[in-house]
Amino acid sequence: MTANSLKKSIIIVLFGIALLPFSLRAQDTLTVSLNKAIEIALSESPTIKVANKEIKRVDYSSKEKISALFPTISGVGQYSRAVKKQKMFFSIPGMPSNPEGIEVGQDNTFSGGISAAMPLIAPTLWATIKMSELDAELVMESARSSKLSLINEVSKAYYAILLAQDSYDVFKKSYDISVENARIIQNKYKQGTVSEFEWIRADVQVKNASANLASAENAVNLSILRLKMLMGIDMFTALKIEGNLANFEANKYADVLAIDTTTLQANSDLKQFDIKAKQLQQSLKIQKSTYLPTLSASFSYQYMSMANDSVAFSNYRWFPTSTAGLSLSIPLFQGGSKLFKQKQIETQVEEMQYQRDNLRRSLELQAMSYLDNINQALKVIESNKEGLRQAEKALSISQKRYDVGAATYLDLSNAELAYTQAGLAYNQSIYNYLSAKADLEKLLGK
């Protein structure tokens, strides 16, 4: 074996070892239904994990605000040096005056101890804690909205795979028919019963059907990759999708009857808007609470020592001091800023009422639009189902007529094309129905 051959062999072996993990991953096939895909997505999707982390963050934020009700305790220490001492002057009748004054105080002052403070009456703080409860409620609803959106996206991605797979089946059947027709025409051409032009047309038809089949296969692979991304699973995991579009078509009327389109109470957008309106109302309460007095308690205990430079540190005399007190703050006047701030919030509250009415009408319009799309899709499904049945029958008749020489190849080609179009239209109509139903369920918060 030459050096070059040995080098090539080593490269091939290393390349195979590098691809080994991918081949092992590809051997793990996960069979999923729609419910299974949604279940995995709700547990593995990064979107849901972020929403759960946000819930935890807001919970910590609420506890942070509640902690303001408890006392705050601090250790304090202080040192000060008298650069220039204060002087005392006497000017009392009958006593000698001291125009130079007498210095008082010590060169050094040390102090250390503990101080504590606690709010007793704090209306603004209480109102702020209530606001944190609304923040948590909004985040919870936002997380529910994320789940609804994920379920909607996973469902539509799953339906898209079924559409791609069923379309692939249509193209596969069309390809098989083209191959069989080309074989028959080729035999007739060899026998001299058909022209070379007709055999060429049949051969071109096979190549076109093969190209359509390859495109359909690529569409299936891309659809599966999108579902893997939404589910939050390894992109190298092989997926096997259960069912087909016809399975969902069989229960279409029962599914539509189970949808309650009379209420929007569970709509996530409307719920989030209502929570934001409550937050604005609470902001108004917080603003009004700034007019109220606040009362807080304080306590301190510390040791102090004062001495001149001439005194040794070991001879410093330490003595304790302790104070306790109450502090009352009554806001009187701040130039009207609080009043104008209150007026701004009151105006926003009025604006939100109009915005809610507009949002509700918009959601009702969307619900009616989705429901109309569903009803239209149901009619189209029935029409396309009958069209597909007729196209299959026409294709079978055309093949038999062509075999006995009662029809031309053009008739056979047209029948084959009509079957392909009918099959694709039937699958597309079912997908349109399922997509509109999924959008309506998301809108209704189901």
Are 230 and 154 spatial neighbours (Cβ–Cβ below 8 Å)?
A: yes
d(CA 296, CA 307): 35
Q: Which of 24, 25, 424, 446 is nearest to 228 (CA)?
A: 25
Of 147-151, 252-256, 349-353, the poorest mean pLDDT is in 252-256
Per the model's pLDDT, the better-predicted residue between 423 and 85 turns out to be 423
For the residues of 314-351, what is the DSSP string, one character each? GGPPPEEEEEEEEEEE----STTHHHHHHHHHHHHHHH
Reported as a pLDDT band with limits 50, 70 and 90, residue 197 is: confident
Q: What is the pLDDT of residues 294-323, one digit of tens each?
A: 899 999 999 888 888 777 777 778 889 899
Portion of the chain with pLDDT greater than 90, in percent: 26
Whether pTM exceeds 0.85: no
pLDDT on residue 222: 93
Residues 6+ apart with CB under 8 A from 122: 68, 69, 294, 295, 296
pLDDT for the residue 3: 45
pLDDT digits (tens, 9 = 90+) for 42-93: 888 888 888 888 888 888 888 888 888 889 999 989 999 888 888 777 766 6
> How far, in Å, CA of 223 to CA of 41, rounded?
16
Estimate to the nearest angstrom the gap between the alpha carbon of 97 and the chain centroid: 84
Confidence of residue 257 (pLDDT cuts 50, 70, 90): low
User: Is residue 86 exposed (0-12), middle (13-18) or buried (19+ Cβ within 10 Å)?
Assistant: exposed
Instruction: Average the pLDDT over 96-106 and give the result.
Output: 72
Domain-wise residue ranges, the chain = 7-44+123-292+335-443, 73-121+294-330
DSSP string, 196-211: HHHHHHHHHHHHHHHH
The answer to whether 120 touches 296, Cβ cutoff 8 Å, is yes
The per-residue pLDDT for 98 is: 64
Tokens, residue 410: 């053009």
What pLDDT score was predicted for residue 260?
Answer: 67
CATH architecture of 7-44+123-292+335-443: Up-down Bundle (1.20)
> At 319, phi and psi to the nearest 5?
-140, 145
Q: Please check whether residue 170 is in contact with residue 420, taking contact to mean a CB–CB distance below 8 angstroms.
A: yes
Please report which confidence band the pLDDT of residue 258 belongs to, taking 50, 70 and 90 as the band edges: low
The size of the chain, in residues, is 446
